[in-house]
Amino acid sequence: MVENVMDKIVSLAKRRGFIYPGSELYGGLANTYDYGPVGTELLRNIKNLWWKYFVQSRPDMVGLDGSIISHHKIWEASGHVAGFADAMVDCKNCKSRFRADHVIEDYLSRMGTDPSQYGIHFKSLVFDSSWGFNKGTEIEDIIRKQKVEGLDENQLDALIKYIFKISCPKCNIKNGNWTPVRKFNLLFPVQLGIVEGEGGLGYLRGETAQLIFTNFRNVVDSTRVRLPFGIAQLGKSFRNEITPGNSVFRTIEFEQGEIEYFFDHDETKWEPLFEEWKKTMDAFVVKQLGINKENVRWRLHADEERSFYSKRTEDMEYKFPFGFKELWGLAYRTDYDLTRHQEASKKELTIVDPKTGKKVLPHVIEPAVGINRLLLMVLVDAYVEEEKRTVLKIAPQLAPYKVAVFPLLANKPELIKKAHEVFTLLSPVYMTAFDDRGNIGKRYLSQDEIGTPWCVTIDFDTLADDTVTIRDRDTARQERIKVADLILYFARKLES
Ligand code: ATP
């Protein structure tokens, strides 16, 4: 049932031009997607709204657009070369590769939170010294928490092969036929220069955040920012992810919106700042993106799950059809990143407080989100099946087209001409569609499926009195409006 909803959304997204599978013409390329005409508009609208909300409308924020290909030393200093790796396991039978934590967590969610339902007598389980566990109660805790973050490769290996004896999710071979769990780095290396070795090694950035830290000095020196302030970046990141499924939820190339909010931790208490950021993120999701707040929750990372440099991490999670999943991470990263780059580059990254002359190496709070995940959430949250139609009730300011203009009949030149005039009036202000195919009812249904909030029909009365019919997507109600009032009418609707 749940998968059914996701299947329907994925199918609508392809059929109506939101999201296509990547490289489909040549058989597809796993974990890549292309955005079609309306998907491109929706993605752009979400990005623009994010930028406007977090950068342009705040006096304490500035923007940055860092390079995608960057020096290998950035990623060595940040710890990504050594530690940005996922534990993977391969099925020797069907040759599929999986993230080890996902294999276990999917199994746990199928089996439930009650250890007695697992058919394992945890008290009498004999533990091998290589497993990294000592007592059955440790395994029972994992079952109750349904989480394995923070466990090492040996522990994941033991859980999959010896304790739970999990079958391959793809070929289902009983008790599994697994390779050892191994770590794979997620960074994509790029060889720079025409001759191999000439330009040396670079990396496609694995997150946008590091470019904010490496440009911190430049921003401070070239602008008039004062602590506390934030630097925001919106752009592509790349990770060699192998997890299949769930559309654009997890892809190897994705758009990130990241903010590093710098503050002097002697002057500003981090706890209230952290809470303030949670509220700001909530307001963006609920008020700006129009998401139902019942579908959003916060989850605090436990100690074993949190990165060692983070004092607190919380994930905003959204209720996708495949479960509550991370949408947006919020972490207090202390001065870890600036310290690492200061040490590795041997350049001072402190900022001088103009009032006291004190040198400060700022701490940061980092809200980091995947824009494509926001887009998937918007589609899921907006998807409504009614008796006679499927509607995407997308917040009007995000909708790919704001208005669709229809001539009532396609074979009446005077109606077509007038409809083109209305299109020309509206299109410089609002993204406007024009459709004269099929009957009006079908055109409405077609616009409902891509979330167009208003349809304007030009009929014979229009020619007589210059009024049109506006039909509302959500209520299907119609009203008659003068052509001259249309622009103001939509402006008021978009404001409300
Ligand atoms: P996950 O646990 O889902 O892999 P993460 O904790 O590694 O995510 P971060 O590094 O904190 O994620 O990245 C911040 C945000 O970027 C995430 O909350 C998510 O919205 C988005 N994101 C991360 N990886 C991907 C991906 N492969 N595809 C799409 N979005 C992603």
User: Residues spanned by CATH 3.40.50.800 within the chain?
Assistant: 401-495
Q: What is the dihedral of CA 259, 263, 265, 269, to 10 degrees?
A: -80
Contact 350, 379 (CB under 8 A): no
User: Residues spanned by CATH 3.30.930.10 within the chain?
Assistant: 2-82+189-384
Which CATH fold would you assign to the domain 85-185? Herpes Virus-1 (3.30.40)
Expressed in angstroms and rounded, the spacing between residue 439 Cα and the centre of ligand 1 is: 44
Ligand 1 atom 23 nearest Cα: 370
User: Does the pLDDT at position 439 exceed 50?
Assistant: yes
Q: Is the pTM of this model over 0.75?
A: yes
Judge if the beta carbon of residue 254 lies within 6 A of ligand 1: yes
**Whole-number Å distance between alpha carbons of 418 and 308:** 65
State the sign of the Cα–Cα–Cα–Cα dihedral 476, 479, 484, 489: negative
Judge if the beta carbon of residue 372 lies within 6 A of ligand 1: yes
pLDDT in tens, 231-280: 999 999 999 987 767 999 999 999 999 999 999 999 999 999 999 999 99
User: Does the pLDDT at position 200 exceed 90?
Assistant: no
**Whole-number Å distance between alpha carbons of 215 and 199:** 22
Helix 371-382 and helix 37-51, axial crossing angle in degrees, nearest 10:
110
Which ligand 1 atom lies nearest to the CA of residue 368? Answer: 14
Q: What value does the mean pLDDT take over residues 116-124?
A: 88
DSSP notation for 40-101:
HHHHHHHHHHHHIIIIIT-TTEEEE---SEEEHHHHHHTTHHHH-EEEEEEBTTT--EEEHH
Ligand 1 atom 18 nearest Cα: 328
- pLDDT score of 478: 97
Rounded alpha-carbon distances, angstroms, from residue 96 to 91, 106, 468: 5, 16, 57
Expressed in angstroms and rounded, the spacing between residue 251 Cα and the centre of ligand 1 is: 9
Give the three-state DSSP class for 383. Answer: strand
- pLDDT score of 354: 79
* CATH class of the 401-495 domain in this structure: alpha beta
124 is written with which tokens? 């009498």
Judge if the beta carbon of residue 239 lies within 6 A of ligand 1: yes
User: Residues spanned by CATH 3.30.40.230 within the chain?
Assistant: 85-185
- pLDDT score of 1: 44
Rounded alpha-carbon distances, angstroms, from residue 118 to 47, 140, 281, 292, 375: 45, 10, 39, 36, 37
Which ligand 1 atom lies nearest to the CA of residue 325? Answer: 3
Judge if the beta carbon of residue 369 lies within 6 A of ligand 1: yes
Ligand 1 atom 12 nearest Cα: 329
Judge if the beta carbon of residue 250 lies within 6 A of ligand 1: yes
Tell me whether residue 251 is exposed, middle or buried, using C-beta atoms within 10 angstroms of its C-beta: 0 to 12, 13 to 18, 19 or more: buried
Expressed in angstroms and rounded, the spacing between residue 109 Cα and the centre of ligand 1 is: 21
More confident site: 68 or 310: 68
Expressed in angstroms and rounded, the spacing between residue 323 Cα and the centre of ligand 1 is: 16
**Whole-number Å distance between alpha carbons of 216 and 225:** 11
* CATH class of the 2-82+189-384 domain in this structure: alpha beta
pLDDT in tens, 85-104: 889 999 999 988 899 999 99
- pLDDT score of 3: 56
